[in-house]
Amino acid sequence: AESTGELRQVDNVAHRGASGYAPENTMAAFDKAVDMKADYIEIDVQRSKDGELVIIHDTKVDRTTDGTGYVKDLTFEQLRSLDAGSFKGEQFAGEKIPTFDEILDRYHGKVGILIELKAPELYPGIEESVAEELKERNLEHPQNEKIIIQSFNFDSMKKMDSLLPKVPIGVLTSSKAHTTEQALTDFAVYADYFNPSYGIVTEDLVDQVHSLGMKISSWTVRSQVAADFLLDMDVDAIITDYPDYVDPRKTNY
C-alpha cells in the first residue's frame, strides 16, 4: 500500500462491542466501546421466533447465555429472560440480549454502527425488517451517521443494496478464493467494503480493493501483533475485541 508518511485515519471498530472486556453483544460491551472511543460498534443481528430483531452472534444461545437452543426457535420473551453476561464474569450477571431497536436508539449519532446480518439464510425477510427499522429513524441516508451493513451471505447483501441503495454494504470472507480479480470486481458492483479475515490480507489485496473503489475492514484483532500487522497493511478499518490495541493514544478510561 502507498505510504504517505502522514498519520493515517483508521476506523477502530469494537467487535461485538469491546468484547475483550465485557460480554459480547451486550450494552455493557457497547458502552465500554464508546468509553474507549471506538469509531464503530459491530453488532450481529438475528431474529426471534416471533419476529423481534435481536443482537447475538451464535445461531444458538448456549455459549453466551444460561439458556439452550436456536435463536430462531425461541420467542423474544424467552430470549429476554436469559442472562447474557455471566459467561464473561459474575460482575456482568443480568446483562440481557439487546434488540436492534434498542441499539439504534441508544447509539446512532453517538458511535458508528457496523451491522452484520448473521446467517440471514435462516431468517427469510430479515433484510426488509432491517431496512424498515433504519428508515423509521431516517438512517437510510446515513452520510453522517456511520451506518454500514455487512454479511458473509452475498445474496443477502445484494438484496440489502437494492433495498437501501445509499447505505454502505460490506462483504465478509475468510476465503482466498474471494480475492481474485474477478471475485473482487463482482463484489464492487454492490459492495462498498471488502472485509476479510486478517490471515488473507496482503498489501496487494489492499491496493486491489482500493483500486476497485472499495474500502477494506479486517477482523478479528485479539492481539497487539495482529493490530500492528493491519495498521501496517493500511486497511481502512480494524475490527477488534480490544479497541486500545488499535490506537493506544485514544485510550482514556
Determine if 192 is a binding residue for Ca ion (CB under 5 A). Answer: no
Is there binding between residue 239 and ligand G3P (CB under 6 A)?
yes
* By the rule CB under 6 A, 59 interacts with ligand G3P: no
Whether residue 57 lies in the annotated active site: yes
**Where do we find the cell 425477510?**
125
Instruction: Select from 39, 52, 95, 116 the one that contacts ligand G3P (CB under 6 A).
Output: 116
116 counts as binding Ca ion under rule CB under 5 A? yes
How many residues belong to the site for Ca ion (CB under 5 A)?
2
Residue nearest to ligand G3P (CB): 219
User: 60: helix, coil or strand?
Assistant: strand
Exactly one of 15, 108, 178, 210 is catalytic; which is it?
Answer: 15
> Which of 39, 44, 234, 241 contacts Ca ion by CB under 5 A?
44
Of 176, 123, 119, 114, the C-alpha closest to 142 is 114
* Residue-by-residue DSSP string for 203-242: HHHHHHHHHTT-EEEEEEE-SHHHHHHHHHTT-SEEEES-
Q: What cell was used for 194?
A: 471488502
> Shortest CA distance to 71 belongs to which of 199, 31, 63, 246?
63
Complex with ligand G3P: residue 59 or 78, whichever CB lies closer: 59
Our finding on whether 24 is near ligand G3P (CB under 6 A) is no
Q: Which of residues 61-100 bind Ca ion (CB under 5 A)?
A: none
Instruction: Report, in Å, the least distance between residue 61 CB and ligand G3P.
Output: 16
Which residues are bridge partners to 70 per DSSP?
Answer: 60
Min dist. Cβ of residue 197 to ligand G3P (A): 8
Nearer to ligand G3P, 81 or 197 (CB): 197
Nearer to ligand G3P, 63 or 135 (CB): 63
Distance CA 22, CA 128 (A): 31
Let me know if 108 is a catalytic residue: no
Q: Is 172 in the site for ligand G3P (CB under 6 A)?
A: yes
Side chain identity at residue 183, one-letter code? A
Q: How far is it, in rounded angstroms, from Cα 50 to Cα 169?
A: 27
Show the 3-state SS of 144-206.
CCCEEEEECCHHHHHHHHHHCCCCCEEEEECCHHHHCHHHHHHHHCCCCEEEEEHHHCCHHHH
Which does residue 242 touch among ligand G3P, Ca ion, none (CB within 5 to 8 A, set by kind)? none
* Continuous segment of H or E residues that includes residue 116: strand 112-117
Asked if residue 42 binds ligand G3P (CB under 6 A), the reply is yes
Among 11, 15, 48, 96, binds ligand G3P (CB under 6 A): 15
Our finding on whether 219 is near ligand G3P (CB under 6 A) is: yes
Q: Coil, helix or strand for 54?
A: strand
**Interacting residue ranges for ligand G3P, rule: CB under 6 A:** 15, 42, 44, 57, 116, 172, 219-220, 239
Positions marked active-site: 15, 57
